[in-house]
């Protein structure tokens, strides 16, 4: 019998789903565990013959709509769905996300342990979902609830904070274009894009260049109002448990003036007024989630 990796995977996943898991009655006369082929076809709203051809490897080019429907019918998680698309020779578009994003509380706790390393957690539209204490001292304009892109273009202080504002602004726009390409229908991305376009002619001009690249290892020079010039390297990590989120980690070379300045900022932040720290913490809920911020407030 003809077969394929996709067919074998569909067959194996079908065997793992019980009728009651998907709201179907169990008649007690099943020869094999899991769902029947006709039940999967019914749930995915495709013909039984077409599904049979998929399992047997006689049909190897299903549409994204069919693959999404099969993912839902077989109760695949994000990893399972991605695997199905990959073995079908396709790359899936992200599933539709709601307007709220959560910051994993365990990730927040880990970030706070890095008391000599500024850490930002960005959402899929560059919303600042979380920032450890040192990051809030280094980037006073990028506290939870702010948006990195809107802050770059709509906050006047950004131009004096970033030593090479033009370069950093262009990189931010290219990164946002990269995000938009991965999630072309995301309403929050559209909201931020509209606010930036309406509020900044410079953003609109850079957006028309259509540069697209993700964040990567890079050096950034900041002109901090309290400790002067900081030279930081930036590393970006995708948050696997929350596709679209990025953990941005900044660090300074040991023995440099910047490393000393980070220690000073950390000490100042640790001894800040309790009321100030409480106010910062109130920007995120107890489970680490924030709603999608609105337009950046200057």
DSSP codes of every residue in 14-38? HHH--GGGGT----S--SSSS--HH
> CA 103, CA 111: separation in Å to the nearest integer?
11
pLDDT category of residue 46 using cuts at 50, 70 and 90: very high
Lowest average pLDDT, out of 18-22, 125-129, 149-153, 199-203, goes to 18-22
Spatial neighbors of 174 by CB under 8 A, at least 6 apart, are 211, 212, 213
DSSP state of 287: T
Mean pLDDT of the region 226-243 = 90
Query: 56 burial class (0-12, 13-18, 19+ CB within 10 angstroms)?
Result: middle
Query: 52 burial class (0-12, 13-18, 19+ CB within 10 angstroms)?
Result: middle
Q: Among 183, 179, 171, 182, which Cα is nearest to 209's?
A: 171
pLDDT category of residue 96 using cuts at 50, 70 and 90: low
> CA 166, CA 39: separation in Å to the nearest integer?
57
Q: Which CATH number describes the domain made up of 101-290? A: 3.30.450.180
Question: Within a 10 A sphere around the Cβ of 25, how many other Cβ atoms?
Answer: 7
Of residues 291 and 66, more confidence is placed in 66
pLDDT category of residue 297 using cuts at 50, 70 and 90: very low
Mean pLDDT value across the chain: 85
> Do residues 296 and 143 make contact, with C-beta atoms less than 8 angstroms apart?
no
| Positions of E strands within the chain | 101-102, 119-122, 128-131, 218-224, 228-238, 246-251, 289-290
Furthest C-alpha separation in the chain: 76
Q: What is this structure's pTM?
A: 0.68
- Over 90: is that where the pLDDT of 223 sits? yes
Question: Within a 10 A sphere around the Cβ of 118, how many other Cβ atoms?
Answer: 27
Calculated CA dihedral for residues 238, 244, 249, 250, nearest 10 degrees: 130
Give me the phi and psi of 246, to 5 degrees please: -130, 135
The tens digit of pLDDT for each residue in 69-83 reads 999 999 998 778 888
Domain ranges across the chain: 5-87, 101-290
CATH of range 5-87; options 3.40.1050.10, 3.90.580.10, 3.40.50.11290, 1.10.260.40:
1.10.260.40
> Do residues 72 and 44 make contact, with C-beta atoms less than 8 angstroms apart?
yes
């Amino acid at each position: 019998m003809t077969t394929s990796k996709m067919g074998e995977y569909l067959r194996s996943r079908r065997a793992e789903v019980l009728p009651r898991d998907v709201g179907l009655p169990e008649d007690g006369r099943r020869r094999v565990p899991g769902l029947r082929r006709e039940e999967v076809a019914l749930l995915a709203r495709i013909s039984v013959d077409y599904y049979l051809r998929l399992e047997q490897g006689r049909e190897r080019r299903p549409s994204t709509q069919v693959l999404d429907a099969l993912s839902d019918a077989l109760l695949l998680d994000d990893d399972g769905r991605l695997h199905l698309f990959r073995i079908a020779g396709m790359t899936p578009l992200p599933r539709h996300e709601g307007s709220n994003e959560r910051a994993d509380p365990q990730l927040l706790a880990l970030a706070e342990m890095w008391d000599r390393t500024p850490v930002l957690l960005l959402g899929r539209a560059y919303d600042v979902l979380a920032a450890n204490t040192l990051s809030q001292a280094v980037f006073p304009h990028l506290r939870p609830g702010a948006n990195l892109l809107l802050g770059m273009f709509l906050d006047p202080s950004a131009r004096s904070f970033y030593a090479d504002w033009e370069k950093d602004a262009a990189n931010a726009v290219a990164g946002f274009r990269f995000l938009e390409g991965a999630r072309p229908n995301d309403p929050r991305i559209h909201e931020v894009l509209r606010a930036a376009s309406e509020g900044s002619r410079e953003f609109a001009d850079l957006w028309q260049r259509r540069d697209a690249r993700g964040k990567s290892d890079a050096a950034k020079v900041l002109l901090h109002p309290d400790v002067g010039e900081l030279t930081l390297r930036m590393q970006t990590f995708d948050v696997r448990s929350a596709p679209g989120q990025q953990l941005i980690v900044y660090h300074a070379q040991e023995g440099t003036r910047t490393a000393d300045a980070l220690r000073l900022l950390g000490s100042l932040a640790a001894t800040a007024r309790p009321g100030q720290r409480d106010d910062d913490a109130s920007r995120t809920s107890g489970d680490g989630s924030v709603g999608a911020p609105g337009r950046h407030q200057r």
